[in-house]
């Protein structure tokens, strides 16, 4: 099993450009999450999904959109990138076996917005 | 609002020098406390989940403990390969069941040979 994979690993955008980050998991997990990690801020939840076709806002959703058309994939979109969105983005997934389940994280995407 | 504070921000140890990392938390009813390890340029890797005060879990040189207000990650006789950032996160009871985690900022551990 590959676990949680993220594409791309690195990306540089100019202000106003758009892009989509792809997260894929092969563990048949119901729950998927998108986080951003900034120095001194810890990991913050952007959006999450509790199953195929569902999405919901996390702590810092502004400027991002998500889609979960297939159970194994969770896409994070930036419609008009801003320098404040320069960050490292992590995707995570979790099984639905009850309440005590750890989240498994992908390797991250480092995004720079100029 | 749930809060997690980790200390120290950075810790430098000599190989074999045991120490502890602290994670203080405030949460409206703790459902679970999670410890993760993060290597540079990689995603967090799950270490432990603790559910109730008094609980302890061990893995190799690491031992995690939990009280009603804080958790400790004890590192016994560390080796250079234990160097990483250690993250603590809490999951609160109640509300939606989507498993929201609140993370601390992490402790950067460096173990010198």
Tell me, what's the pLDDT at B99?
A: 78
Residue of A42, A50, A99 lying closest to B103 (CB–CB): A42
Chain B nearest C-alpha distance from A81 (Å): 22
Q: What is the pLDDT of residue B1?
A: 83
Using the beta-carbon criterion (under 8 Å), do A43 and B41 form an inter-chain contact? no
Residue A85 DSSP class: G
DSSP sequence for B17-34: --EEEEEEEE-SSEEEEE
* Residues whose CB falls within 8 Å of the CB of residue B95, separated by 6 or more in sequence, listed in order: none
**Among A43, A44, A50, A87, the residue to mutate for chain B (most B Cβ within 10 A):** A43
Write out the two tokens for B31. Answer: 């459902």
Chain B residues near residue A57 by CB distance under 8 angstroms:
none
Q: Residue B97: is its pLDDT beyond 60? A: no
Q: Which chain A residues are Cβ-neighbours of B89 within 8 angstroms?
A: 43
pLDDT digits (tens, 9 = 90+) for B38-88: 999 999 999 999 999 999 999 999 999 999 999 999 999 999 999 999 999
Contact yes or no for A53/A40 (Cβ under 8 A): no
- The answer to whether the CB of A13 falls within 8 A of the CB of A19 is yes
Q: What is the pLDDT along chain A (114 residues), one digit of tens a residue?
A: 789 999 999 999 999 999 999 999 999 999 999 999 998 888 999 999 999 999 999 999 999 999 999 999 999 999 999 999 999 999 999 987 665 678 999 999 999 999
Which of B111, B109, B112 is CA-nearest to residue B38? B109
Q: Which residues of B touch A90 (CB under 8 A)?
A: 43-44
Question: How close does chain B come to A100, measured CA to CA in Å?
Answer: 7
CA-based torsion, B4, A103, B80, A88: positive or negative: negative
Report the residue of B24, B41, B43, B96 to disrupt the A interface, i.e. the one with the largest count of A CBs within 10 Å.
Answer: B43
**With left for phi above 0 and alpha for psi between -120 and 50, is residue A69 left, alpha or beta?**
alpha
A-chain residues near B40 (CB < 8 A) = none
């Amino acid at each position: 099993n590959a676990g949680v994979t993220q594409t791309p690993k690195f990306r540089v955008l100019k202000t106003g450009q758009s892009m989509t980050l792809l997260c894929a998991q092969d563990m048949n997990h119901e729950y998927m999450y998108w986080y951003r990690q900034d120095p001194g801020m810890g990991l913050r939840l952007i959006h999450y999904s509790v199953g195929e076709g569902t999405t919901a806002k996390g702590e810092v959703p502004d400027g991002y959109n998500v889609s979960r058309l297939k159970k194994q994939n969770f896409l994070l979109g930036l419609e008009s990138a801003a320098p404040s969105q320069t960050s490292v983005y992590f995707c995570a997934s979790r099984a639905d076996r009850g309440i005590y389940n750890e989240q498994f994280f992908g390797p991250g995407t480092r995004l720079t917005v100029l | 609002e749930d809060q997690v504070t980790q200390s120290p921000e950075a810790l430098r140890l000599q190989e074999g020098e045991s120490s502890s990392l602290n994670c203080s938390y405030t949460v409206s009813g703790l459902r679970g406390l999670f410890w993760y390890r993060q290597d540079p340029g990689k995603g967090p890797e799950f270490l432990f989940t603790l559910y109730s005060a008094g609980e302890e879990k061990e893995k190799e040189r690491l031992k995690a403990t939990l009280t009603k207000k804080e958790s400790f990650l004890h590192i016994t006789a560390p080796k250079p390969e234990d160097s990483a950032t250690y993250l603590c996160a809490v999951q609160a009871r109640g509300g939606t069941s989507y498993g929201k985690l609140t993370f601390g900022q992490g402790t950067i551990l460096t173990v010198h040979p």
